[in-house]
Structure 1
Amino acid sequence: MNNPRTIEEVVTFVLEKSTDARNDDMKLYLLVCDEVNSIVGSKNIGNIPFAVIMNNYKELNLPHFESVRRSRAKIQSKHPELAGDPECRKSRKQLEGLYKTYAKS
């Protein structure tokens, strides 16, 4: 699953459906993988060992984690109603600032 538009559509669907996924990128990734797996027709992603997923995500046709995270950020900037709760947004803003400081050094 390398098509950014398709990834964005699945991420949007999951964010609309799950308020938990709006606040937690790992939860979002799991739910996106579940959606993609149902499209692909393979077994439930939760039943596959973590090491198998990490080592075989391409063969399992799973999106890259960073693609999901970037899609989430883009979608939430365009659609604030799909953004996380205020505490989560504050935390993400702080982490962004810390990273910018780190990246400059």
Structure 2
Amino acid sequence: MNGKLDIDRDQIADFCRRHHIVRLALFGSALRDDFGPDSDVDVLVDFEPGQVPSFFRLSDMEDELSALFAGRKVDLRTPEDLSRYFRDRVIAQAEVQYARG
């Protein structure tokens, strides 16, 4: 992972367990050299079957992750949210931070 983003793995694991996330990965600028102080954090998640939250709950989760990432704006996405034109590339390049079983 890019050394510019300090992540507490225990806090991420706790977040994932509480929100029924089976996989959480970073993608986008957080993994590149152009990641800067004003960059947001793009997060890709897979939820347990039947546990995909509402739009409003996703927004709350973004706020919670933002606090874990030193106040940076977080864009939380599922693979289904991504455009079919670049979904496979994002998934291939994403760097997993948490995976259950």
Instruction: Give the TM-score of the pair, scaled to structure 2.
Output: 0.30
Higher helix proportion (structure 1 or 2): 1
Q: Highest relative contact order (Cα 8 Å, sep 6+), 1 or 2?
A: 2
Q: Whose Rg is larger?
A: 1
More strand by share: 2
